[in-house]
Amino acid sequence: MLADLRAAWRPVLVLGALNAAIPFWLVAWGETHIESSVAAIAQATVPLCSFLIGLRFLPHERIGAARIAGVLLGLAGVAVLAGINPHGGWPAAAGTLAIVVASISYASSGIFGQLRVSGTSGPVLATGSMIAGFLMLLPPALVQFPTAMPTRGAIASVLALGLLGTAAAQLILFRILVLAGARKLSLVAYLMPGFALVYGALILHEHVRAIGIAGLALILLGVALGSGALRRPLRAEAR
């Protein structure tokens, strides 16, 4: 593993910046100005960013009408959900913009990772990028070192996010990059607003409106179309 990491230090540094240091900091800062549900909606722009960046760096991939329709439907669903909380003023606008820039960074890392996984294993890229991202974020973290001992709940949250939401997720991410590519992987971001809507209702006891259900339905339909899930049964029946 160490030899593989040393051999892949260049792509690891790029992924550490694009897939960890830059988006992690932007999302953390952005969520100090906007609600988590709004942040999830803003991050749902990842598929569109991946689609546009892929036009330049993945010209060999065929883009069918169903995939384009899926992207547009997903965006429509995000727009419907975004209309639920259109308030907050300039601080909220800045926070939302930070999340969108993070989405561009995530999309760029997905395209770059797809181009590199053919020569480097996914676990090596996942491990190396997280180490590189940690080292990049360490200096600002030391500057903002906590003045008091974190609570047990805060420590448990950090461990859960680090082990499940980051470490395990990165291993899965690079595996999916090999199997499906960056564009299909990016469609997962369309599910974030839906989960935020459900978690808000179950955990924060927020009221779920009909417009929220409609937006979630559009998002799920967009993911199904964009990933090709709706086309496979039709092909099987034709045979």
Domain span holding position 114: 2-144+151-238
Sign of the alpha-carbon torsion through 63, 224, 102, 121: negative
User: What letter represents residue 86's amino acid?
Assistant: P
pLDDT on residue 79: 75
Pick out the chain residues at pLDDT < 50.
Answer: 234-239
Rounded to two decimals, the pTM is: 0.77
Per-residue burial over 29-59, b = 16 or more CB atoms within 10 Å of its CB, e = otherwise? ebbebbbebbbbbbbbbbbbbbbebbeeebe
Question: In the chain, how long is the greatest CA-to-CA distance?
Answer: 66
Q: Which of 137, 196, 193 is nearest to 166 (CA)?
A: 137
Q: How far is CA 204 from CA 12, 35, 99, 112, 210, in A?
A: 38, 12, 22, 37, 18
| Number of neighbouring beta carbons within 10 Å of residue 123 | 14
Answer whether 228's CB lies under 8 Å from 86's CB: no
pLDDT on residue 21: 93
Q: What tens digit of pLDDT does each residue of 171-192 get? A: 888 888 877 788 778 888 877 8
pLDDT on residue 237: 45
pLDDT on residue 139: 92
Look at the chain and report how many structural domains it folds into: 1
pLDDT on residue 22: 95
